[in-house]
Amino acid sequence: MAEVFIPIIFFFVVGGIIASFVLTRHKERMTMLDRGLSPEDIKQLYERSTGKSNPYSALKWGIVFLSIGLAVIVGLWLREVTYVEEGIYPALITLFAGAGLIVYYMTVRKKIV
C-alpha cells in the first residue's frame, strides 16, 4: 500500500519545486519593474550570451572523462588481478577525476601565462 504513495508524493514534490521556481521568478521580475528597470533591461540580465565563456571548457571535460574511463579500466584490472571488492570503483573514479582536474589546471595555467 505504501508503494502507491511514493509516485504520488514524487509528483507533488516536483510540482511544488516547479511552482516555487515560477512564483519566485515572477516576484523577482515584478520587483525589478517596480524599481524602474525596463523589460529590455531585464531581458539582458537573463541572457546567457552576456556571460564570459571558458575557451578551455571542452579540454577540461575531455580530461575529466578520459580520467574517469581510465579509473574504470584500472578498477576492472584490479578486480581481476587482486580480487578486490566493487567498492573500489567510486574511490578510483573520484581519485582519477581529481587528478584530471589537476592536469587541466596545470595545462591551462601554462597556456595563460
Predicted pLDDT at 74: 92
Query: According to the model, what pLDDT value does residue 86 have?
Result: 77
pLDDT number for residue 21: 93
DSSP 24-71: HHHHHHHHHHHTT--HHHHHHHH-STTSPPPTTHHHHHHHHHHHHHHH
Residues 30-60 pLDDT 10s: 888 888 888 787 777 777 655 567 778 889 9
Domain boundaries, the chain: 2-46, 57-106
- pLDDT number for residue 113: 58
Q: Quick: pLDDT tens for 66-98.
A: 999 999 999 889 888 988 877 888 999 999 999
